[in-house]
Amino acid sequence: MLSRKDYIWSYIGNIMKYSFSFIITPIIVIFLKTEELGLWYTFASINAFACLLDLGFSQNFLRNFAFAWGGAKELEKEGVAKQSAGEPNKRLYSILLSASSKLYLVISSVAFIALLIIGTPYILYIMRGYEQSYLVPWLVYAFAIFINLMFGWWFSALEGAGKIAKAQQAITIGNIANFVVVIVCMFLRVGLIGLALAYLINGLVSRAVAQYYFHKNVITKQEIAALQSDVSSSEIKQTVFTIWFNAKKNAVVTLAETLSGQLGTIICSGVISVEVTASYGLCCQIANIVTTIAVSNHTANMPVYANLWTNDDKQTIRKLYSRAIFAYMTISIVIGVLAIVFGVPVIRIIKPSIELPYMMLLLVIITYVFDNLYSSNAKFIATKNKIPYVKDNIIALILVILLYILLLRGFELGVYGLIVGKVLGKLFLYIKWNHYAFKMVDCSFLQLNAEGCRYYLSKLKTS
């Protein structure tokens, strides 16, 4: 079970991350040219596609780290892992560490090569009408993606052992480093390369701190060396193959989700304009801030859910789950309203050249609330080590693409066609699998929110 400190840090980590984002966003809006801002959001979308090469291993490693720390004797391809007396199985944990480090070296290298071969010509193409070259910022950003992918598994290793607070602290320290570099670079007016450099520094610092916390609070370097001394390469390969059984399904789901989520920005920059992409990307950034903060409780619980399923402790899972759902809906509504009321006027004051309509921001926030509720519930379903929603995600992606074509070309709705097309194409997905998740704890959406509300009200009365 997580401590109150873990939950608090889960929120603090995301709040601080996006507090920096709230501060940085107006600054980069002021100091960057409109086309640079649009290109920056295009960088972020390309980053999302590059991370697809993760192939679904990160969530599966996190889940299996949690099983191993819960005392699993061995890993299962599908279903809940078998449990021992409950003591952490450190040898199995060390095998997972070795497997993840080797695997992510390969994944990050492939991603970097793909970014250079495919990403570079695309960046040169969309910026062909501008005199300034943006090749150097892109290359720095591509290298930052490589670093983030290669060492990103340290967070899964920390969280799998229940060290949520430490993982969030590492992320927060990285974000502080990112914030300092952005501020300095913007005031030095170095432009887009400053943001790319800050992203690289963020990755290096946060992952180094995560590694330090892991060895200090979970397993020391000496312990790992001793545990891995008799681990064979065949054991490592078998571990990867075991995790791959569900990872390949998760990879398809992640691909479908990322394509449906990021195609909008790519299409906007390539078909409409980078100026409109600046507006759309800004709306997406604000909506992402709102929903990521709101889902912090649910996200922090994922390794806990996995551990509780091994004991078939549905009652505790329901309690944690109801609190997470109520927190998500409440925080999404409150912060979403504040973002709309105050965000649009502030952007209009500091950067009048960027159009940010109230309706666009409202619709984007609504789509993100739907999307993140489904996404977090899909991860919740996967904590039982089963991924039954693969085909539906493929169908949803096809529907989204068809609706993009219809609404952009047929009805000429422009960027609004991208917003509406996404939510309509995935609507059946949201309804079906959210309901599936609620049934896992024998509860409806309204009942879950009612239970969560009663819990937080009782806490207020006793405090």
pLDDT in tens, 213-259: 999 988 888 888 888 887 788 888 888 888 787 777 877 887 787 77
Q: Residue 85's pLDDT is what?
A: 54
More confident residue, 337 or 8: 337
What CA–CA distance (Å, rounded) separates 279 from 268?
A: 10
Q: Within a 10 A sphere around the Cβ of 166, how many other Cβ atoms?
A: 24
Instruction: List helix spans (H) across 32-56.
Output: 34-50
Instruction: Yes or no: say if 360 and 415 are a contact pair by the CB < 8 Å rule.
Output: yes
Q: Is 279 in contact with 360 (CB distance < 8 Å)?
A: yes
- List, for residues 11-23, the tens digit of each pLDDT value: 666 666 655 666 6
Residue 273 pLDDT greater than 80, yes or no: no
Domain ranges in the chain are 4-462
Q: What is the pLDDT of residue 408?
A: 74
For the entire predicted model, the pTM comes to 0.68
Task: Tell me the β-bridge partners of 83.
Answer: 72
- Measured over all CA atoms, what is the biggest interatomic distance in the chain, rounded to whole angstroms? 66
Residue 146 or 26, more confident:
146
